[in-house]
Structure 1
């Protein structure tokens, strides 16, 4: 929680931990340690209010992190994006361990150090089968046991736990999705056969939404709904509460068997017994509970065919991404011009809060055609708050925008025809030389990625260092990926592609039609942060030669908004980089100015901020 003065007060977890430890010692469970993951039963990054168990027990609200509680300790494992936030939100009952940095141990490593013979409990529906196996392999050397406990212990304590949402699920028309369920099923079944399997269980909520051309609102900022699905050669089953389906949605599910959401496990058990030749594809988001219901001898561990298929957007989806980003850019121009006018020309400095600014941006977005809402909580951050990578302001306790401090906005929105995600960094006063140098080095990395030509099939793992080279020259860096995949009116973070050093970014080469972000940054704790981000479509690139028949690719930025030139240190910029910036600003002007009233303040603002330098 935060006070009215903006000071974060850690959540008192003493009584909650006491209650949990009492349950752990109960003979019904008899466990020495208990894992509380951040994910839901579908391994979602963003989860519904009813699944925020880790937040309930710890007070930490970040989207990534897992807790381990023993009778004597409570440890939170998270990465560099959330260290500052976790330290501020958790009380002294908790120890924080940062993963992914240097020699810091992982959660599985830590569990392997518990006393020999320890029983480690976890809700099997909340942990992936892959992670359960990883933990089991780590702890067996110490004769410890991972114990599945189907009754979630946090749920027992959580008296006012929210119920599963009952919001409507609607059909996404073909003018937005581009391909029917029947066409998608043909491709999915072809891939199932290629893997030597007889069926596919689908646990990823974005996979289900994509396959059935359905969208919902069960999770804030994500057009998803709680569900499972099973696809075989002759059947398609959707596990969802039927009363949630709109009439048009039901009409477009002809041939699909519909069962209650919780029936999935019984159906999987029956399916596993229906034939000796059953082989069901399970992917990394399938829980330990799902695999146990099928039987480990009956599974084929592969990426879901749906995950692979939806990575490459069809022509309708690509057109939608381009068009939605034009409208998104118009909203951004209206917002930033409004903000500058309020802060500078109307002499209202220090009177607009971070959350008020975020609300105003949403207001401009919701005026646009096909706008649905946010794709994640808006990061509206000034000064030191901009150094917190995933900062999100809290109304009434957030900071006021200051002319003398950097202001960073990372905002994304959902449109029926696309998903957006854009970051811009501004200074409405006079930036310091150091701020300008850091910003310019971020911009240089951003341009290097956007301007890159690379062979088809190159992975994002290979491209990542290019974004960091200018930063490395100054001995600075950033602790997040350079880019992530983006869904089409789906998850703003769409795996498994991206630009970064995570090993799975090597699993898939980048191909034309995929959509990724380009977002290098720099963050100085307690001082400022700078990030520039565009959503980009990977497109074919004509080259003078095609060695060995190789096809080449480049990025097409579809995010459209000026990049502030006041923060640039010209002496660091190369001629090609200046040319890129001028060309980009020319594109922004050509795409957005026709949608603004000539002579209006926002029209003139756009003209000034896209002028050649």
Structure 2
């Protein structure tokens, strides 16, 4: 899954929308702004933790505008309003917002700064919620508003919340402990390692605001947001390894509190301000991540007299490097997930053609069917993201999300793309397969094979220590580039261990992270191709970085990728004449591994189908 889902459909813009988003909600917000002597307000798609998934209470952008994408922002002035999205959502935003009320803008080509310069009058006061913007974001906002001769105002409370009469309550999902059999390292050991890093940086403490960092550090999981097992909270870790955890105590059972131990002090979230004031009073030097922490934390610490040391969240890199127990857990999870996906693919090939011919099988039907195969696993807890089930032209929208409104029935002669994943207690999965429904065209086979060649090139990559994902990205695109083709998403994202399916700091993309790929990191390998209005292709496996050691005749030890995902790749779409012998050997070896790993979990028709689907590629 390259990034969060995108919805689409064939709806025509409406003159007025007053359900989720639209004129009524916009008018309510403007009235509240006027009461506060504000001329405008910035509404990001974010919560206090800057996570990809947010609780219903934090879906402020959707409530105001109707736009349901996973990234974006709105800017509201007395007479004008705009919604800013990236290239993933340019189609979706026009279908979901009221174009009479909001102007859709491309965040890169038509940025917020340019819009403010065009529309903001001198002296106008623009509000923002300091809990919903990072320090880095606010610096950019100040520059943009200042250039327009306006005033940027931090609001003590969010005016949109005051205008939202039925705003959901904050989530209270119970916290559970991540067993050491899955975590591989005790919380006190992790806290000691991070505390040592604080001492190296001459810092007295760090403020952690990313829920996945806190969950990893404390070996806890929760359910406050969709698809990702996170308890929403904040944490301060001292250089002595003692943690103050700011979490709603209603989420904690007595047993969980007892297991946390003496090194973790549980405090109410309302106490965070006092804790930061206390650090400031000590003139403490505090590590805070400017890319993820809300600017409120910076302003509170500075006002109290604290010294801020701006640095990346110290948990992100060690969390990304999975230990041996976590890696074995994710291998086990992929083994079971591969069997579930294979049962689905077997059913699709065996049972679906008659239903498709009769026009009786839709994208949502397939979402439900795939989920039913995964739900039988005792360690299954949730999907790791909303399944992308895309047939025909919907596959060309690389982050398509099916709903009851846009559900499409499959047809013959099409490609079907399914990008899905699961959260298991021992690992997180994410896999994409593209399937031919009926006879594919020569062009489809050509494009599919070029995507497969890119996938194999990355899977076979060997690289020296210090290499980052941006340096490998072109390997996955080379065959497409030779035909004048490309794709507009990244090639690989990091993946957590029963945590977020999108995890930093590692990634593989044209503008990749400068963080070097390190052993134990898990990433996706997912090149693709998308022809607007016709079809989409993506082939995705998860891989982990491994050390290869010094080979005979070599001067330098290399790193490589171990493929974790185990599921057949549709060979009916492969154009053999485009494949090299090395590529064919990789595909045959991969399918042999898949067959040997999964056959013991399958029976009858599913086992027979797997044997057929993993036969060596014909010469």
Cα distance in 1, alignment partners of residues 125 and 175 from structure 2: 41
**Alignment deviations for residues 400-434 of structure 1 (CA, whole Å, 9 cap, x no partner):** 12232211000011000000000000112011112
Structure 1: give runs of 5+ residues left out of the alignment: none
What is the deviation of 1:124? 0.6
Residue in structure 2 matched with residue 265 of structure 1 by the alignment: 273
Structure 1 SS opposite 2:573: coil
Residue in structure 2 matched with residue 85 of structure 1 by the alignment: 92
**How well do the aligned residues superpose, as a CA RMSD in angstroms?**
1.9
Task: Kindly indicate whether residue 535 of structure 2 is the aligned counterpart of residue 528 of structure 1.
Answer: yes
Residue in structure 1 matched with residue 605 of structure 2 by the alignment: 601
What is the deviation of 1:545? 5.8
Q: 2:257 aligned to 240, 245, 250, which one?
A: 250
Residue in structure 2 matched with residue 40 of structure 1 by the alignment: 47
Cα distance in 2, alignment partners of residues 509 and 364 from structure 1: 37
Task: Kindly indicate whether residue 406 of structure 2 is the aligned counterpart of residue 402 of structure 1.
Answer: no
What is the deviation of 1:309? 1.2
Cα distance in 2, alignment partners of residues 189 and 109 from structure 1: 43
Residue in structure 2 matched with residue 199 of structure 1 by the alignment: 205
Structure 2 SS opposite 1:401: coil
Which one is further off, 390-399 or 338-347?
338-347
Cα distance in 2, alignment partners of residues 346 and 70 from structure 1: 52
Cα distance in 1, alignment partners of residues 378 and 332 from structure 2: 10
Which one is further off, 567-576 or 454-463?
567-576
1:343-492 superposed matches below 5 A: 343-344=352-353, 349-395=358-404, 397-492=406-501
Residue in structure 1 matched with residue 616 of structure 2 by the alignment: 612
Would the aligned equivalents of 2:418 and 2:432 in 1 still touch at CA under 8 Å? Answer: yes
**Alignment deviations for residues 524-576 of structure 1 (CA, whole Å, 9 cap, x no partner):** 2221111111111111124536866x431111111111110111222222221
Distance 1:57 1:590, change over 3 A: same
Would the aligned equivalents of 1:171 and 1:248 in 2 still touch at CA under 8 Å? Answer: no
Cα distance in 2, alignment partners of residues 112 and 314 from structure 1: 50
**Alignment deviations for residues 458-481 of structure 1 (CA, whole Å, 9 cap, x no partner):** 011111122112112222211111
Cα distance in 2, alignment partners of residues 342 and 9 from structure 1: 38
Residue in structure 1 matched with residue 5 of structure 2 by the alignment: none
**Alignment deviations for residues 255-278 of structure 1 (CA, whole Å, 9 cap, x no partner):** 2111112321232122211x1243
What is the deviation of 1:349? 4.5
Task: Kindly indicate whether residue 536 of structure 2 is the aligned counterpart of residue 540 of structure 1.
Answer: no
Would the aligned equivalents of 2:229 and 2:498 in 1 still touch at CA under 8 Å? Answer: yes
What is the deviation of 1:139? 3.5
TM-score w.r.t. the length of structure 2 is: 0.93
What is the deviation of 1:31? 2.6
Distance 1:594 1:209, change over 3 A: same
TM-score w.r.t. the length of structure 1 is: 0.94
**Alignment deviations for residues 337-365 of structure 1 (CA, whole Å, 9 cap, x no partner):** 11222222677652122112111111111
Residue in structure 1 matched with residue 60 of structure 2 by the alignment: 53
Would the aligned equivalents of 1:226 and 1:261 in 2 still touch at CA under 8 Å? Answer: no
**Alignment deviations for residues 146-176 of structure 1 (CA, whole Å, 9 cap, x no partner):** 2111221221121211111122111111000
Cα distance in 2, alignment partners of residues 220 and 276 from structure 1: 39
Q: 1:310 aligned to 304, 319, 329, which one?
A: 319
Would the aligned equivalents of 1:112 and 1:144 in 2 still touch at CA under 8 Å? Answer: no
1:155-170 superposed matches below 5 A: 155-170=161-176
What is the deviation of 1:22? 2.2
- Alignment size in residue pairs: 598
Cα distance in 2, alignment partners of residues 214 and 401 from structure 1: 41
Q: 1:18 aligned to 7, 10, 27, which one?
A: 27
Which one is further off, 60-69 or 201-210?
60-69
Distance 1:116 1:445, change over 3 A: farther
What is the deviation of 1:283? 4.3
**Alignment deviations for residues 113-141 of structure 1 (CA, whole Å, 9 cap, x no partner):** 43333322111100111111122234433
Residue in structure 2 matched with residue 97 of structure 1 by the alignment: 105
Which one is further off, 481-490 or 578-587?
578-587
1:228-239 superposed matches below 5 A: 228-234=234-240, 235-239=242-246
Would the aligned equivalents of 2:11 and 2:95 in 1 still touch at CA under 8 Å? Answer: no
Structure 2: give runs of 5+ residues left out of the alignment: 1-8
Cα distance in 2, alignment partners of residues 590 and 283 from structure 1: 47
What is the deviation of 1:238? 0.5
Distance 1:368 1:145, change over 3 A: same
Distance 1:547 1:283, change over 3 A: farther
Cα distance in 1, alignment partners of residues 217 and 342 from structure 2: 35
Cα distance in 2, alignment partners of residues 509 and 142 from structure 1: 40
Structure 2 SS opposite 1:305: coil
Would the aligned equivalents of 1:60 and 1:89 in 2 still touch at CA under 8 Å? Answer: yes
Q: 1:148 aligned to 154, 165, 168, which one?
A: 154
Cα distance in 2, alignment partners of residues 350 and 177 from structure 1: 46
Would the aligned equivalents of 2:177 and 2:256 in 1 still touch at CA under 8 Å? Answer: yes
Cα distance in 1, alignment partners of residues 329 and 245 from structure 2: 27
Cα distance in 2, alignment partners of residues 410 and 108 from structure 1: 35
Cα distance in 2, alignment partners of residues 118 and 395 from structure 1: 43
